[in-house]
Amino acid sequence: MDYYSSQITRLIEEFSKLPGIGGKSAQRLAFHVINMPEEQVAGLTCAITEAKRNVRYCKECFTLTDQECCPICRSEKRNHKVIMVVEDTRDLAAYEKTGKFEGVYHVLHGAISPMLGIGPSDIKLKELMQRLQGDVEEVIIATNSSLEGETTAMYISKLIKPTGIRVTRIASGVPVGGDLEYIDEVTLLRALEGRVEL
Protein backbone atom coordinates (compact mmCIF):
# COMPACT_ATOMS: atom_id res chain seq x y z
CA MET A 1 0.00 0.00 0.00
CA ASP A 2 1.38 3.42 -0.98
CA TYR A 3 1.39 6.03 1.77
CA TYR A 4 2.22 8.89 -0.57
CA SER A 5 1.19 10.12 -3.98
CA SER A 6 2.94 8.57 -6.99
CA GLN A 7 5.24 11.58 -7.48
CA ILE A 8 6.45 11.53 -3.86
CA THR A 9 6.93 7.76 -4.03
CA ARG A 10 8.94 8.13 -7.25
CA LEU A 11 11.13 10.84 -5.71
CA ILE A 12 11.82 8.59 -2.68
CA GLU A 13 12.63 5.66 -5.00
CA GLU A 14 15.07 7.79 -7.04
CA PHE A 15 16.88 8.99 -3.91
CA SER A 16 17.08 5.43 -2.55
CA LYS A 17 19.02 4.40 -5.70
CA LEU A 18 21.93 6.60 -4.57
CA PRO A 19 24.80 4.82 -2.76
CA GLY A 20 24.54 4.91 1.01
CA ILE A 21 20.95 6.16 0.98
CA GLY A 22 18.48 3.82 2.62
CA GLY A 23 14.70 4.09 2.67
CA LYS A 24 14.47 6.50 5.63
CA SER A 25 17.22 8.78 4.31
CA ALA A 26 15.57 8.79 0.88
CA GLN A 27 12.28 9.75 2.49
CA ARG A 28 13.96 12.56 4.47
CA LEU A 29 15.67 13.90 1.34
CA ALA A 30 12.45 13.74 -0.70
CA PHE A 31 10.48 15.73 1.88
CA HIS A 32 13.35 18.19 2.26
CA VAL A 33 13.37 18.83 -1.50
CA ILE A 34 9.58 19.19 -1.60
CA ASN A 35 9.76 21.80 1.19
CA MET A 36 12.64 23.76 -0.41
CA PRO A 37 11.88 27.05 -2.20
CA GLU A 38 11.41 26.51 -5.92
CA GLU A 39 14.55 28.52 -6.84
CA GLN A 40 16.70 26.22 -4.68
CA VAL A 41 15.18 23.13 -6.30
CA ALA A 42 15.85 24.64 -9.73
CA GLY A 43 19.46 25.36 -8.68
CA LEU A 44 19.91 21.78 -7.45
CA THR A 45 18.48 20.21 -10.61
CA CYS A 46 20.54 22.57 -12.79
CA ALA A 47 23.76 21.70 -10.88
CA ILE A 48 23.07 17.96 -11.27
CA THR A 49 22.23 18.26 -14.98
CA GLU A 50 25.23 20.48 -15.79
CA ALA A 51 27.64 18.29 -13.82
CA LYS A 52 26.40 15.19 -15.64
CA ARG A 53 26.68 16.94 -19.00
CA ASN A 54 30.05 18.67 -18.51
CA VAL A 55 32.17 16.59 -16.12
CA ARG A 56 34.61 14.23 -17.84
CA TYR A 57 38.01 12.66 -17.31
CA CYS A 58 41.12 14.84 -17.28
CA LYS A 59 43.15 13.90 -20.37
CA GLU A 60 46.31 13.55 -18.22
CA CYS A 61 45.41 11.98 -14.87
CA PHE A 62 41.81 10.83 -15.44
CA THR A 63 40.35 12.56 -12.41
CA LEU A 64 36.93 14.13 -12.87
CA THR A 65 36.96 17.68 -14.20
CA ASP A 66 34.85 20.04 -16.27
CA GLN A 67 37.84 21.12 -18.38
CA GLU A 68 40.19 19.27 -20.72
CA CYS A 69 42.90 19.18 -18.02
CA CYS A 70 42.28 19.40 -14.28
CA PRO A 71 43.82 22.28 -12.25
CA ILE A 72 46.50 19.96 -10.76
CA CYS A 73 47.75 18.79 -14.16
CA ARG A 74 47.69 22.37 -15.51
CA SER A 75 49.70 23.73 -12.58
CA GLU A 76 53.33 24.57 -13.32
CA LYS A 77 54.05 24.55 -9.57
CA ARG A 78 53.47 20.78 -9.36
CA ASN A 79 56.28 18.26 -9.84
CA HIS A 80 55.17 16.35 -12.95
CA LYS A 81 58.02 13.85 -12.52
CA VAL A 82 56.32 12.29 -9.46
CA ILE A 83 52.98 10.53 -10.03
CA MET A 84 50.80 9.21 -7.20
CA VAL A 85 48.48 6.41 -8.33
CA VAL A 86 45.12 6.35 -6.53
CA GLU A 87 41.98 4.26 -6.96
CA ASP A 88 39.45 7.08 -7.34
CA THR A 89 38.95 10.85 -7.30
CA ARG A 90 37.95 10.81 -3.60
CA ASP A 91 41.41 9.41 -2.74
CA LEU A 92 43.02 12.24 -4.72
CA ALA A 93 40.91 14.77 -2.78
CA ALA A 94 41.98 13.19 0.54
CA TYR A 95 45.68 13.62 -0.32
CA GLU A 96 45.13 17.16 -1.58
CA LYS A 97 43.59 18.11 1.77
CA THR A 98 46.93 17.37 3.46
CA GLY A 99 48.52 20.12 1.35
CA LYS A 100 51.82 18.23 1.43
CA PHE A 101 51.97 16.32 -1.87
CA GLU A 102 53.49 18.44 -4.65
CA GLY A 103 53.45 15.90 -7.48
CA VAL A 104 50.61 14.90 -9.79
CA TYR A 105 48.16 12.02 -9.74
CA HIS A 106 46.86 9.15 -11.84
CA VAL A 107 43.33 7.93 -11.07
CA LEU A 108 42.70 4.27 -11.86
CA HIS A 109 38.92 4.33 -11.33
CA GLY A 110 38.96 0.99 -9.55
CA ALA A 111 41.22 -1.83 -8.45
CA ILE A 112 41.98 -5.28 -9.83
CA SER A 113 39.51 -7.79 -8.39
CA PRO A 114 39.34 -11.22 -10.04
CA MET A 115 36.39 -12.15 -7.82
CA LEU A 116 34.37 -9.24 -9.22
CA GLY A 117 35.66 -9.81 -12.75
CA ILE A 118 37.71 -6.59 -12.78
CA GLY A 119 40.99 -7.10 -14.59
CA PRO A 120 43.88 -4.77 -15.49
CA SER A 121 42.16 -3.75 -18.73
CA ASP A 122 39.10 -2.53 -16.78
CA ILE A 123 41.00 0.24 -14.96
CA LYS A 124 43.22 3.07 -16.27
CA LEU A 125 46.49 1.06 -16.28
CA LYS A 126 47.24 1.30 -19.99
CA GLU A 127 46.92 5.08 -19.70
CA LEU A 128 49.35 5.09 -16.75
CA MET A 129 51.93 3.16 -18.76
CA GLN A 130 51.56 5.68 -21.61
CA ARG A 131 52.24 8.54 -19.17
CA LEU A 132 55.44 6.81 -18.06
CA GLN A 133 56.86 7.24 -21.57
CA GLY A 134 57.50 10.87 -20.57
CA ASP A 135 59.93 12.25 -17.99
CA VAL A 136 58.86 10.46 -14.79
CA GLU A 137 61.20 9.76 -11.85
CA GLU A 138 58.88 8.13 -9.30
CA VAL A 139 55.50 6.43 -9.11
CA ILE A 140 53.92 6.35 -5.65
CA ILE A 141 51.30 3.63 -5.37
CA ALA A 142 48.56 4.82 -3.01
CA THR A 143 45.90 2.18 -3.51
CA ASN A 144 43.85 1.04 -0.52
CA SER A 145 45.15 -1.56 1.94
CA SER A 146 42.37 -3.96 0.89
CA LEU A 147 43.07 -7.24 -0.91
CA GLU A 148 42.13 -5.56 -4.22
CA GLY A 149 44.33 -2.54 -3.47
CA GLU A 150 47.31 -4.74 -2.59
CA THR A 151 46.81 -6.87 -5.71
CA THR A 152 46.68 -3.74 -7.85
CA ALA A 153 49.80 -2.32 -6.17
CA MET A 154 51.78 -5.51 -6.81
CA TYR A 155 50.62 -5.67 -10.44
CA ILE A 156 51.57 -2.02 -11.10
CA SER A 157 54.94 -2.52 -9.40
CA LYS A 158 55.75 -5.51 -11.62
CA LEU A 159 54.79 -3.51 -14.73
CA ILE A 160 56.87 -0.45 -13.86
CA LYS A 161 60.04 -1.94 -12.32
CA PRO A 162 61.56 -3.03 -15.69
CA THR A 163 61.33 0.59 -16.91
CA GLY A 164 63.82 1.74 -14.26
CA ILE A 165 61.37 4.25 -12.78
CA ARG A 166 61.40 4.28 -8.97
CA VAL A 167 58.25 2.63 -7.54
CA THR A 168 57.19 3.25 -3.92
CA ARG A 169 54.17 2.25 -1.85
CA ILE A 170 52.56 4.44 0.79
CA ALA A 171 53.17 3.24 4.33
CA SER A 172 50.22 1.97 6.28
CA GLY A 173 49.81 0.97 9.85
CA VAL A 174 48.44 2.05 13.18
CA PRO A 175 45.90 4.88 12.93
CA VAL A 176 46.37 7.93 15.15
CA GLY A 177 44.53 7.30 18.41
CA GLY A 178 44.32 3.54 17.80
CA ASP A 179 44.90 1.06 20.63
CA LEU A 180 47.42 -1.62 19.61
CA GLU A 181 45.44 -4.41 21.25
CA TYR A 182 42.51 -3.87 18.84
CA ILE A 183 44.54 -3.69 15.62
CA ASP A 184 44.84 -6.71 13.32
CA GLU A 185 48.14 -8.50 12.73
CA VAL A 186 48.55 -7.43 9.09
CA THR A 187 48.20 -3.76 10.02
CA LEU A 188 50.68 -4.16 12.87
CA LEU A 189 53.16 -5.90 10.56
CA ARG A 190 52.85 -3.12 7.95
CA ALA A 191 53.39 -0.54 10.69
CA LEU A 192 56.52 -2.37 11.82
CA GLU A 193 57.90 -2.70 8.27
CA GLY A 194 57.16 0.96 7.49
CA ARG A 195 58.89 2.31 10.59
CA VAL A 196 61.02 5.43 10.27
CA GLU A 197 63.95 6.81 12.25
CA LEU A 198 63.16 9.42 14.92
Any idea what the CATH number is for the domain that residue 174 is in? Answer: 3.40.1360.10
Q: What is the pLDDT of residue 144?
A: 87
Q: In a 10 Å sphere around its CB, with 0-12 CB exposed, 13-18 middle and 19+ buried, how is residue 95 labelled?
A: middle
CA distance 140 to 171: 10
Region of 47 (left: φ > 0; alpha: ψ -120 to 50; beta: rest) is alpha
Other Cβ atoms closer than 10 A to 100 = 7
Look at residues 73, 149, 161 and name the one whose alpha carbon lies nearest to residue 111.
149
Residue 36 is assigned to a structural domain of this protein = no
Residue 150 is assigned to a structural domain of this protein = yes
Residue 68 is assigned to a structural domain of this protein = no
Q: What is the pLDDT of residue 1?
A: 42
Q: Which domain holds residue 83?
A: 78-192
18-70 pLDDT tens trace: 999 999 999 999 999 999 999 999 999 999 999 999 999 999 999 999 999 99
Provide the pLDDT confidence category of residue 180 given band limits of 50, 70 and 90.
Answer: low
Residue 109 is assigned to a structural domain of this protein = yes
Q: What is the pLDDT of residue 173?
A: 72
Q: What is the pLDDT of residue 198?
A: 54
Provide the pLDDT confidence category of residue 2 given band limits of 50, 70 and 90.
Answer: low
Provide the pLDDT confidence category of residue 190 given band limits of 50, 70 and 90.
Answer: confident
Q: Give Cβ neighbours of residue 180 (< 8 Å, ≥ 6 apart).
A: 174, 188
Residue 31 is assigned to a structural domain of this protein = no
Contact call for residues 62 and 106 (beta carbons, < 8 A): yes
Type of residue at 65: T
Q: What is the number of domains present in the chain?
A: 1
Axis crossing angle, helix 23-35 with helix 6-16, rounded to the nearest 10: 120
100-156 pLDDT tens trace: 889 999 999 999 998 889 999 999 999 999 999 989 999 999 998 888 888 999 999
Residue 30 is assigned to a structural domain of this protein = no
Confidence (pTM):
0.80
Residue 89 is assigned to a structural domain of this protein = yes
Q: What is the pLDDT of residue 5?
A: 78
Contact call for residues 41 and 33 (beta carbons, < 8 A): yes
Q: What is the pLDDT of residue 92?
A: 92
pLDDT of residue 194 exceeding 80, the answer is no
